[in-house]
Amino acid sequence: MSCQAISPGKNFFAGGFGGVCLVFAGHPLDTIKVRIQTMPVPGPGESPLYRGTFDCFKQTLAKEGFKGLYKGMAAPIIGVTPMFAVCFFGFGLGKKLQQKTPDDVLTYPQLFAAGMLSGVFTTAIMAPGERIKCLLQIQAAKGEVKYAGPMDCVKQLYKESGIRGIYRGTALTLMRDVPASGMYFMTYEWLKRLLTPEGKSPNELSVPSVLFAGGMAGIFNWAVAIPPDVLKSRFQTAPEGKYPNGFRDVLRELLREEGVASLYKGFTAVMLRAFPANAACFLGFEMAMKFLNWAAPGL
């Protein structure tokens, strides 16, 4: 099996393109996920706002049209290119730091560690982007229009709470992304090796194989990430001062009012989104990487 020297620089540019592909493929179900995770608890005798993923999907289409599924997409599109660029750069750097020679094939624990490093790298960009995205996604569901768009949201958050308001939920984002990123990249590399015919390189995988490996990496990523993601979404969209002790207060409230199952709210929407979105991401990454290897072999 031939190995290509790892280039964090190429990972940076190819990862950015992969991230854009992910947002276009996955944002509608991300909107559904956030709305389900943050819907109010129904009172005695009341029906829940959404009966499930498909009901939320139907209500959104009926009330807001197809555009409603893409509410808040500007924030992740603006943030996703540098975020995924940094994510894949961090993974490439994590792999390179653990290699003694360019031909070293890393073990799965080493790949997991490299993926965790990528999660640390992305949090600074991901946390404010997620905060803005979640606020824009739920305001339409509530019938309120507090924020005119991503920049207006940033301005209002800064005016109300300063930079801390924009970065609210950073610790939860870190708790979600570090282990989930480790699982994400390790699973992708594992499946690439598994699907590679004998005598071939993983870089020569067919498009269907890349799509399958990328989609399954997304599934494994979210299997780890859902509980902290639920806490993060609830915390980032709560009124100021509702949870003075941070995620511990969110966790106590969820467990007290809705039980352990509440930590897996939005599970169906997440898993329906995870496969196509991450399949698109890794296909975009691999295509961009092949182009960069052809256009700038010495980078």
Buried b (16+ CB within 10 A) or exposed e, 206-236: eeebbbbbbbbbbbbbbbbbbbbbbbbbbbb
Residue 203: DSSP 8-state: G
Whether the per-residue pLDDT at 141 is higher than 70: the answer is: no
SS (H, E, C) 151-170: HHHHHHHHHHHCHHHHCCCH
- For residues 266 and 38, give the distance between their C-alpha atoms in angstroms, rounded to a whole number: 10
CA distance 32 to 234: 14
Question: What pTM value is reported for the model?
Answer: 0.79
Q: What pLDDT, on a 0 to 100 scale, did the predictor assign at position 178?
A: 95
Is the pLDDT confidence value at 104 over 70? yes
pLDDT, tens only, 190-244: 999 999 988 888 888 899 999 999 999 999 999 999 999 999 988 988 888 888 8
The arithmetic mean of pLDDT across residues 130-154, rounded, is 82
Contact present, 284 and 18 (Cβ < 8 Å): yes
- Dihedral of CA atoms 287, 202, 181, 95 in degrees, nearest 10, equals -100
Lowest mean pLDDT segment, chosen from 24-33, 271-280, 285-294:
24-33
From CA 91, how far away is CA 83, in angstroms rounded? Answer: 12
pLDDT at residue 112, as a whole number = 97
Q: Is the pLDDT of residue 19 over 60?
A: yes
Is the per-residue pLDDT at 245 higher than 70? yes
| Segments in the chain forming alpha helices (H) | 8-38, 53-64, 74-98, 108-142, 150-161, 163-166, 170-195, 207-237, 247-258, 267-295
| Res 4 pLDDT > 90 | no
